[in-house]
Amino acid sequence: MQLSKKTFQGYREYPEKVLQFGEGNFLRCFVDWMFHELNQKGNFNGSIVVVQPIDKGMVNMLNEQDGLYTLNLRGYKNGKPESTYETIDVISRGINPYEDFAAYLGTAENPEMRYVISNTTEAGIAYDENDTQTATPPNSYPAKLTVWLNHRYKTFNGDQSKGVHIIPCELIDKNADNLKQIVLKYAEQWNLESGFVEWLNSACSFSNTLVDRIVPGYPRERIAEITSELGYEDKQIVEGEHFHLWVIEGPEELQKELPFPSIGLDVLYVKDVTPYKSRKVKILNGAHTALVPVAYLYGIDTVRESVEHPVVGKFIKEAIFNEIIPTLDLPKEELEKFANEVIERFSNPYIKHLLMSIALNSFPKFETRVLPSILEYKKRLGSIPEKLAFSLAATIAFYKGKRGEEEIALNDDAAVLILLKSAWAKYDGSDESVEDVVREVLAFEKNWKLDLNTVEGLTAAVTKHLVNIEKLGMQKAIELV
């Protein structure tokens, strides 16, 4: 038996109010779930029309199940591991604009349509100079959106009340600002009437966002067990963690229209998303990146094992609370709460997160996620944060390419791999040659955007730790930090 509105007794139909570009796991586990909850616990009374943003996608599979799917949330909740199932019925239908462009444009004629959501990957919010207004559809997401917005503007003769709130979820900085800039560029390129631009600026809003939830996606390895447990087949089931955070930099009226916080969801309406992005990048992503080389060279393979390890776990927690948090500007209590949630998420017993899966492109990741904390710590406190410096030393050691007798499958930019191979080839076992390795790596401005040897005390700190790692091994070196 397959999940459908015939087999799901709780099925309800709602007016279509949300247009969503993207049918992937993340939006269905995150935004769609939130709108579903707002239907169940609030008074939203609305459904989502999903638009397939590229030629090949999954809206047909979604339509086969009448937009229904099961959400399996797994992880720690209130301090205890918990796995839950919920049938999500907020999607009314899916549209493939490459097959039915008229149906796509038709949604712009719906007077109740009020919100546009998207997650078209980081590459989705991009300008394509070859896109035309007459294409059915245009290639890029911003061009598709421009055509849709212009059609709505014309349908309702510029009625201010028919504007929409546009809330992109793509993981790029200032996602909404970038999207709006491209839409306005198409409006100019296509010579759309000035009234459309005025309507866009006055009747519509573009809200920058930050999204955060780990979504492993379709639980392929457990699907037979899940199907037996549920009693029906679901080809669209999606797995995610309980933790969720949506930070929205939007107008006040948006919070009134979408009162997610009032039903207990972790949605923050803020004036500036920047400090929250910095918090996430430095604490969550930064901790991941700082942890990987230390834990892996210690002999550990997964994130959960790492944070639960008495030595490595203590190391990363102290790095977060003592060295990363002091570089951030949000209230300390709020930062520590978020940090504790991150540690709990890292300990999720349902997710086997391999350290090597995070190790990809460790050097550029270190530059964006960890180095800002080192530099800001130095600026604010006048010294080098020892644990983050140790992590940098461990990263250099990791790129030697060996864990004991085991070869490490290094995966990074070719220039990084060539640099590290060349630097380590000159190593002769002496402390002086360790310093030479460190100096050569820290001088790699292509990655760091500056010569890190000019940061007072950093070269000496990294050299000291790398000498200990080389002479004593990771398990003894970490105890000296």
Give domain status of residue 2, yes or no. Answer: no
What percentage of the chain reaches a pLDDT higher than 90?
A: 95
Give domain status of residue 209, yes or no. Answer: yes
Task: Decide which of 249, 269, 289 is a domain's last residue.
Answer: 269
Domain of 475, in residue numbers: 274-480
Strands of 238-366, DSSP E: 238-240, 245-249, 267-269
The answer on 440 and 296 residing in a single domain is yes
Task: Decide which of 269, 286, 318 is a domain's last residue.
Answer: 269
Per-residue pLDDT at 95 exceeds 90:
yes
- What pLDDT does 123 receive? 86
The answer on 465 and 335 residing in a single domain is yes
The answer on 453 and 315 residing in a single domain is yes
DSSP string spanning 191-243?
T--HHHHHHHHHH-EE-EEEEE----BS-GGGHHHHHHHHTSB-TT-EEE-S-
The answer on 136 and 53 residing in a single domain is yes
pLDDT digits (tens, 9 = 90+) for 160-173: 999 999 999 998 99
* Average pLDDT of the segment spanning 356-372: 93
The 3-state DSSP composition of the chain as helix, strand, coil percent (nearest 5) reads 50, 15, 35
In this prediction, residue 347 has a pLDDT band, given cuts at 50, 70 and 90, of very high
CATH classification of the domain holding 70? 3.40.50.720
The answer on 51 and 140 residing in a single domain is yes
Residue 312 contacts residue 306 (beta carbons within 8 Å): yes
Strands of 341-481, DSSP E: 402-403, 406-407
Domain count, the chain: 2
The answer on 246 and 291 residing in a single domain is no
pLDDT digits (tens, 9 = 90+) for 179-237: 999 999 999 999 999 999 999 999 999 999 999 999 989 999 999 999 999 999 999 99
Task: Decide which of 269, 299, 319 is a domain's last residue.
Answer: 269
Give domain status of residue 4, yes or no. Answer: no
The answer on 218 and 232 residing in a single domain is yes
The answer on 218 and 70 residing in a single domain is yes
Strands of 351-425, DSSP E: 402-403, 406-407
* Average pLDDT of the segment spanning 461-468: 98
Per-residue pLDDT at 352 exceeds 90:
no
CATH classification of the domain holding 313? 1.10.1040.10
Give domain status of residue 5, yes or no. Answer: no
The answer on 256 and 280 residing in a single domain is no
Q: How long is the chain?
A: 481
The answer on 338 and 208 residing in a single domain is no
In this prediction, residue 121 has a pLDDT band, given cuts at 50, 70 and 90, of confident
Radius of gyration (C-alpha) of the chain in whole angstroms:
25
Average pLDDT taken over every residue of the chain:
96
Say what angle helices 414-425 and 431-442 make with each other, to 10 degrees: 160
Residue 11 contacts residue 66 (beta carbons within 8 Å): yes
pLDDT digits (tens, 9 = 90+) for 409-432: 998 889 999 999 999 999 999 999
In this prediction, residue 78 has a pLDDT band, given cuts at 50, 70 and 90, of confident
The answer on 247 and 307 residing in a single domain is no
- Omega before 364 within 30 of 0, i.e. cis: no
Per-residue pLDDT at 122 exceeds 80:
no
Give domain status of residue 361, yes or no. Answer: yes
Q: What tokens does 35 get?
A: 């709108």
The answer on 143 and 212 residing in a single domain is yes
Name every residue whose Cβ is closer than 8 Å to that of residue 264 and which is 6 or more positions away in sequence.
Answer: 41
